[in-house]
Structure 1
Amino acid sequence: MPSDAVFYQAAALCLTYPDDDFVARLPLLREAAPQLREFTDHATVTPPQELAAHYVQVFDFKNRHSLYLSWWQDGDTRRRGMSLVRFKEIYQAYGMEFTGEELPDFLPAVLEFTARTGNTDLLTEHRDCLEQLRCRLTDFGTPYASVLRVVCDTLPTVCQGPRW
């Protein structure tokens, strides 16, 4: 099992809707992924209904905080369909069938894929998207920004060379 598997799985859980299962897992998440303590400490002291309402406010009202990685590159265009197919093909190449209710580019799904396979290529490929999301969440003042910050910190920086 990859060394960062527990961290990526914990990050995936932190970025999903905070239902009763999430609340029940919080003590385990705090212990298993100390890198995420800033967020898990906040979630631990926040009433569950308030936590759920905040999640909806942050992620469900506008694409400005979209957890769908292809949206950041393709927007709502036809090109996005091909990007979604590519995510599914990558999952299938690792013997995984994507069956979730969400689209295959949903960040928690990508984090779970990374946890199970140890392959950070999808995250690294979408590093710019993750950084944009992190910046917007930081500007919005949400504790979810700390989860994105730590995920980004685990990825190599993408050097694009000099701009002339």
Structure 2
Amino acid sequence: MPGFEVLYQAAALCLTYPDDDFRARLPLLREAAPQLRGFTDHAALTSQSDLQAHYVEVFDFKNRHSLYLSWWSDGDTRRRGMSLVRFKECYRAHGLECTEEELPDFLPAVLELASRTGDTRLLVEYRDALDQLRTRLTGCGTPYACVLDAVCATLPPATAGARR
């Protein structure tokens, strides 16, 4: 999907922990990716501590809103290990290495990969996971849902053969 590299990079930044760097980048994110304004406007009006607390509440306490794509299809099983290897192989194919800071299926990292390379294969393959996450985020009323809305709008619909 050509032309969505800026959106993917902005979405990656919006889905990481909102530290001081995020706050500094917020005006640029708002301009570069108008599709994310629902979230970036909210972030601009929310105090740093409240934004951080909301992030932790939404993403860190339960897997209901997991940002780890293979969790949606593999759960906490041995099969997930092979999926993570496949993610790493995709990064390596583009000359990139994963840091040990996050697992390779961490959605912001996958979005950054797509942004840097234009390769959306992992996003397309895990489209069903993105839809499930988007539905759950929408259901709990978090502004993060609009970030998933924007990303999903750039991808073809999930197919019957999508990972489950």
Q: Give the structure-1-normalised TM-score.
A: 0.95
- The answer for the alignment partner of 2:16 in structure 1 is 16
- 1:1-164 equivalence runs, <5 A: 3-160=3-160
What CA distance in whole angstroms lies between the structure 1 residues aligned with 2:151 and 2:62?
22
Q: Secondary structure at the match of 1:114?
A: helix
| Shift of residue 159, structure 1, vs aligned partner | 3.7
- Which aligned segments of 4 or more residues in structure 1 are displaced greater than 2 angstroms? 158-161
* 1:4-27 alpha-carbon deviations (Å, 9 max, x no partner): 111100000000000000001000
Alignment RMSD: 1.1
Q: Secondary structure at the match of 2:101?
A: coil
| Shift of residue 44, structure 1, vs aligned partner | 0.3
Q: Give the structure-2-normalised TM-score.
A: 0.95
| Shift of residue 100, structure 1, vs aligned partner | 4.7
* 1:121-147 alpha-carbon deviations (Å, 9 max, x no partner): 100000000000000001111000010
What CA distance in whole angstroms lies between the structure 1 residues aligned with 2:139 and 2:118?
31
| Shift of residue 74, structure 1, vs aligned partner | 0.3
What CA distance in whole angstroms lies between the structure 1 residues aligned with 2:152 and 2:117?
18
What CA distance in whole angstroms lies between the structure 1 residues aligned with 2:75 and 2:27?
37
Q: Where do 5+ consecutive residues of structure 1 fail to align?
A: none
| Shift of residue 160, structure 1, vs aligned partner | 2.9
* 1:65-108 alpha-carbon deviations (Å, 9 max, x no partner): 00000000000000101100110001101111111501000000
Percent same amino acid among aligned pairs? 74
Q: Where do 5+ consecutive residues of structure 2 fail to align?
A: none
What CA distance in whole angstroms lies between the structure 2 residues aligned with 1:140 and 1:156?
25
What CA distance in whole angstroms lies between the structure 1 residues aligned with 2:158 and 2:130?
12
What CA distance in whole angstroms lies between the structure 2 residues aligned with 1:73 and 1:158?
13
What CA distance in whole angstroms lies between the structure 1 residues aligned with 2:160 and 2:89?
26
What CA distance in whole angstroms lies between the structure 2 residues aligned with 1:8 and 1:125?
16
- How many pairs are equivalent? 160
